[in-house]
Amino acid sequence: MNGYIVRQPIKDVEDNVVGYEILYDNGHEALARQGVSDYAAADAIYNFLNDNSDKLVRDTISFMTFTPTLLFKNTPKLFDQRHLVVQIEDDVVVHPMATRIVQRCQSEGYRIAINDFQFNTRYFSMMDYVDFIKLDVANNTESWLSNIVEMAHSMHKQCIATGIKDQGMYDMAHRVGADYFQGSYVAERVKTKVHKANYLQSNFFQLVVEVTKDEPDIDEIENLIARDASLTYALLRMANSVYYAARRHASSVRQALVTVGLGQLKQWVYLMSCTQQGEDLKESEEFLRLSFLRANFCAELAGHSTMLDISKSEAYLLGMFSTLPYLIDAPLEESLSEIPLSDSVKNALLKHEGVSGVLYDLVLSYEKADWAEMTELAKKIQIPTEVLTTVYFNCVDMVNTIWDSLNTNHALEEVK
């Protein structure tokens, strides 16, 4: 499939992620809007979903747009109805079989969302089967949005404001009473900056267990720390502090572990276990998870380019530290000055410069589903565009698997 698939977060009024929309594109023309006659496009999507359904909707609710052709192929059945919202657009609403199609999905237990809701009879005729109404904030007036939200709430439907690109649009969506929010601004928004470096509690618990073993596994310790931006940053900072100044600079987790040694590492872990506070964990966990995904995405993409001036491990740190502004209450330039990253990585993070900056921008444009920009950036550093989606969702799958494992292990320990 020569196209892209990406997830865009949907958040509630408290800035918590409640789900993701699965966006897909082929040749920079959204497949969801190509019309019912494009069976080749529908087949391409169907085949991709059939091969990757377990990677797309594992960890939370996913909103996915289906063309009439995909619905006739009963494509939603590839997914667990508990985790999928079937999203329809005008090409389904105007279809003569629309009501029957939507009724079938609803009877099978799927929730239904209408994208870019319009004020006309065709859309209102679907309201008995719809759970969510998605409203385009960028292309409608505040008074129109307010009227639709009021009407939807009177019918016990929830509203998702989409296309939010800046603070003004976000504020308007709040004023009209939207229940959920989506867009490039929402994806990057954080309610409050975390006042201290927080780390993922379940991951940290496993680290505590590992370092207290009679024979700690250094590879497992490295893996546990490398999953977490805050732990990675804190360890590198300690390893390059004045106390260790006589030794060589550590620019990777493994080098930092060798520099610090297991004895000092245990003391560091014990100290962090005493100082960690739980009040910011929920907010910071979203960005810890995002940093882990970006780290792996950057590293894997780096393996497909011969133009980069950084190693795969440096590309990993590029993605890992991209969320530091959300996790540490200090300017990014100040934070990065305390660890010996290469100039290429620092310039990429701070100024979006150089070929590493292109890699960083490629990852950001993929997250925003900016199809044209990601294609241009991939070509600049000679990454084949056809590998982007596969690499991205392999990374998503890996992150989901690890997060599930962390949460399961932590829950089991709490039961004990």
**pLDDT value of position 174:** 96
Burial of 378 (0-12, 13-18, 19+ CB in 10 A): buried
Helix (H, G, I), strand (E, B) or coil at 305: coil
Q: What is the pLDDT of residues 198-235, one digit of tens each?
A: 556 667 767 877 886 778 899 999 988 888 888 888 88
120 contacts: CB under 8 Å, gap ≥ 6: none
Q: Is the pLDDT of residue 406 over 60?
A: no
Measured CA distances, 103 to 79, 98, 110 (Å)? 17, 8, 10
Query: What is residue 62's three-state secondary structure?
Result: strand
Q: Is the pTM higher than 0.95?
A: no
Helix (H, G, I), strand (E, B) or coil at 164: coil
| Main-chain dihedrals φ then ψ at residue 324, nearest 5 degrees | -55, -35
CA separation for the pair 287, 386 (Å, rounded): 27
Model confidence over 310-357: pLDDT tens digits? 988 889 889 988 888 877 767 888 878 877 788 999 999 999 999 999
Please give the structure tokens belonging to residue 293: 């995904």
Element (H, E) at 30: strand 29-30
Residue 46's pLDDT band (cuts 50, 70, 90): low
pLDDT in tens, 7-21: 888 999 988 888 888
Distances (CA, A) of 366 to 67, 169, 220, 327, 395: 23, 22, 31, 22, 13
The phi-psi region of residue 353 (left if phi > 0; otherwise alpha if psi is between -120 and 50; otherwise beta) is beta
Choice between 46 and 399, residue whose per-residue pLDDT is larger: 399
With b for 16 or more beta-carbon neighbours within 10 A and e for fewer, the 40-59 pattern comes to ebbebbbebbeebbebbbbb
